[in-house]
């Protein structure tokens, strides 16, 4: 299986973020890879506060966090359900985050008591969802000098102890979400339902239970991710970095009815029109 992906999809102004923090992705243990996208690790030591912005993936994350070094900087961990809006996190001073990004559909085998839609748009203490101890927090976050490999090994150990529990429906949901991500011809839920030989309502129930949002939401979110990457001059299309983006053609490629539809969706999600985002210094 391939290692962690190298794109920056979903990260708003990734070069600006990477200039301020140490960001990397790591692969989980082989038994966890069918369920997880990757681990993501961020450390920072900032003289000035900085606000990072992310257009969330259709993925649940488990996030271990420590902000600062003072008495009030106790580590904590959360289940971060799929974010429906632009996520903004203020970073200041020193801190560390160790995150687990699950594949769309991959979280429920670790928390089978509830549909994944229960966590959508919410951040809840990890202990309310999966058994967690202070020792787990200490092992994952560790002291400042802790080796990265040890932190990754602690994440592996924690998740292997917590699960996963085999679930064919989870595997089906993960396969469908991956198909939406990679197949540009999947622009409508009805087309996916026809290809699967099931009703649109059946797909919606499956996605609500195992992904946390409906298949239409997943389709639209992956469109915005590609538009964001193209606006930033990324590798989402054939244009060279820095080249002028043909927004009308991109709208057609992504299945929008016209350029105005793409502009409205992009602006509503990211906060600025794609042309403004693509402009240097914006």
Question: What's residue 72's pLDDT?
Answer: 62
Pick the CATH number of 168-278 from 1.10.10.60, 3.40.50.300, 3.30.230.10, 3.10.450.30: 1.10.10.60
Q: How far apart are CA 210 and CA 76, in angstroms?
A: 25
Q: Which fold has domain 14-162?
A: Immunoglobulin-like (2.60.40)
Nearest to 223 by CA among 67, 105, 55: 55
Domain ranges of the chain: 14-162, 168-278
Q: How far apart are CA 78 and CA 24, in angstroms?
A: 20
State yes or no: cis peptide before 145, omega within 30 of 0: no
- Asked whether residue 11 carries a pLDDT value surpassing 70, the answer given is yes
Residue 164 pLDDT grade (very low, low, confident, very high; cuts 50, 70, 90): very high
- Asked whether residue 237 carries a pLDDT value surpassing 60, the answer given is no
**Average pLDDT of every residue of the chain:** 89
- Asked whether residue 234 carries a pLDDT value surpassing 70, the answer given is no
- Asked whether residue 171 carries a pLDDT value surpassing 90, the answer given is yes
- Asked whether residue 236 carries a pLDDT value surpassing 50, the answer given is no
For residue range 186-220, what is the model confidence (pLDDT) as tens digits?
888 998 999 899 999 999 999 999 999 999 999 99
- Asked whether residue 101 carries a pLDDT value surpassing 80, the answer given is yes
Question: What's residue 239's pLDDT?
Answer: 43
């Amino acid at each position: 299986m391939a290692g962690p992906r190298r794109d920056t999809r979903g990260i708003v102004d990734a070069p600006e973020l990477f200039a301020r923090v140490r960001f990397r992705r790591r692969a989980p243990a082989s038994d966890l890879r069918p369920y997880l996208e990757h681990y993501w690790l961020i450390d920072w030591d900032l003289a000035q506060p900085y606000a990072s912005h992310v257009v969330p993936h259709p993925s649940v994350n488990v996030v271990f966090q420590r902000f600062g070094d003072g008495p009030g900087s106790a580590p904590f961990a959360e289940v971060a359900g799929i974010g429906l809006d632009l996520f903004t996190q203020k970073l200041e001073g020193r801190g560390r985050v160790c995150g687990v990004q699950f594949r769309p559909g991959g979280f429920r085998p670790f928390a089978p008591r509830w549909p994944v839609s229960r966590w959508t748009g919410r951040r809840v203490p990890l202990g309310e969802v999966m058994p967690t101890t202070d020792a787990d927090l200490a092992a994952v976050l560790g002291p400042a000098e802790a080796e990265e490999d040890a932190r990754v090994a602690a994440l592996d150990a924690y998740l292997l102890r917590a699960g996963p529990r085999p679930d064919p429906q989870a595997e089906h949901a993960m396969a469908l979400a991956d198909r939406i991500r990679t197949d540009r011809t999947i622009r409508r839920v009805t087309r996916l339902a026809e290809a699967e030989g099931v009703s649109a309502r059946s797909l919606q129930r499956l996605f609500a239970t195992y992904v946390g949002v409906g298949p239409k939401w997943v389709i639209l979110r992956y469109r915005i991710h590609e538009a964001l990457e193209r606006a930033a001059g990324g590798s989402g299309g054939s244009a060279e970095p820095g080249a002028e983006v043909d927004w009308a053609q991109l709208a057609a490629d992504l299945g929008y009815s016209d350029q105005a539809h793409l502009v409205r969706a992009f602006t509503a999600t990211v906060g600025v029109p794609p042309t403004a985002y693509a402009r240097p210094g914006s």
